[in-house]
Amino acid sequence: MFLPVPHERVELVEVLGPDGTGDDQLVAIWEADEAQAALTLVAGLPEGELKRCFIPVWKIRAHSGTRFLFEISFCFRCHGARLRGPAVPPEQDTIHAFDSEDSTSRELLARLKAAGQS
């Protein structure tokens, strides 16, 4: 999957997940190696076929120091990831299809869920 900046520039990743009311809640902050490992998974997501629902449950927000770079909202049901933010070129500011059944996608989802349980 396309990342708008080299993930090595990202220093901190905020993980947002469901709070039970339909709103997003900050569930974890990943820094250093943990942030890099998650972004390596995102960068390795294989292309897939986008379905229609796009109801994202998980989001990550990437920061470099104190600067917000980009956000990715994931819908693992419809295989869509919405990319947006100040570091995102206009042509990439859209929903990207990924294969949510792939092992890389399943590992990313497992990390997101684990973050939401801590």
Place of tokens 């049901």: 77
pLDDT in the model for residue 94: 95
pLDDT bucket at 87, cuts 50 / 70 / 90 = very high
Q: Output the pLDDT for position 22.
A: 67
Strand, helix or coil for residue 23: coil
Mean pLDDT of 112-116: 92
**Average pLDDT of 52-57?**
90
Q: Checking DSSP bridges between strand 24-31 and strand 58-64, what pairing results, if any?
A: unpaired
Q: What is the pTM of this model?
A: 0.92
Average pLDDT over residues 68-92: 95
Radius of gyration of the chain (CA): 13
Phi–psi pair at 38, nearest 5 degrees = -65, -45
pLDDT band at 1 (very low <50, low <70, confident <90, very high): confident
- Mean pLDDT of the 28-52 span: 95
Average of per-residue pLDDT across 85-99: 95
Question: Which of 16-20, 24-28, 41-45 bottoms out in mean pLDDT, i.e. has the lowest?
Answer: 16-20
| Number of Cβ atoms within 10 Å of the Cβ of 34 | 16
